[in-house]
Amino acid sequence: AYVSRLDLRVLGFDKAIPKGNGRPPYNPADLLKLYIYGYFQRIRSSRRLEAECQRNIEVMWLLNRLAPDFKTIADFRKDNATAFSATCRAFVQFCRSAGLVKGDLVAIDGSKFKAVASARRHISTKHLKRDQEKLDRRIA
């Protein structure tokens, strides 16, 4: 229901307006529904999504028995990367306007940890001080 309310042209999806000649492409709304379904079901692979289109009754109902191949699904993701960001932004705005999310607090985890803990790669306090002094000299 959410995807059917979106204006895919404004969001920047390719082929939202089909050409007048030739065979029409898959509707971007259908492929977006498939992508969202895969996201909720933790299915990231385009080959797995293709298999779900042929065996899963939920997906058959969702896509009206369309069965795009894995290359079509992968190309849809690749060609519409900015449109996906716009769709996520529109979804957050929808949730805020519906009162589902307040948006008072935003948390971002940018932690980076070094996973190598061998004796050769171990950094002591003395080594850290020496690196800090070297950095200070370069900055000066």
Classify residue 19: in a domain, yes or no.
Answer: yes
What is the per-residue pLDDT across 55-72, written as a single tens digit (0 to 9) for each?
999 999 999 999 999 999
Tally the domains of the chain.
Answer: 1
Classify residue 112: in a domain, yes or no.
Answer: no
Classify residue 140: in a domain, yes or no.
Answer: no
Give the pLDDT confidence score for residue 109 in this predicted structure.
Answer: 77
What is the per-residue pLDDT across 27-61, written as a single tens digit (0 to 9) for each?
888 999 999 999 999 999 999 999 999 999 999 99
Q: What's the rounded Cα separation, in Å, for the pair 84 and 138?
A: 42
Classify residue 120: in a domain, yes or no.
Answer: no
Classify residue 106: in a domain, yes or no.
Answer: no
Q: What's the rounded Cα separation, in Å, for the pair 66 and 68?
A: 6
Contact present, 12 and 88 (Cβ < 8 Å) = no
Is this prediction's pTM over 0.95? no
Q: Would the pLDDT of 105 be above 80?
A: no
Classify residue 66: in a domain, yes or no.
Answer: yes
Domain extent at residue 13: 2-97
Classify residue 70: in a domain, yes or no.
Answer: yes
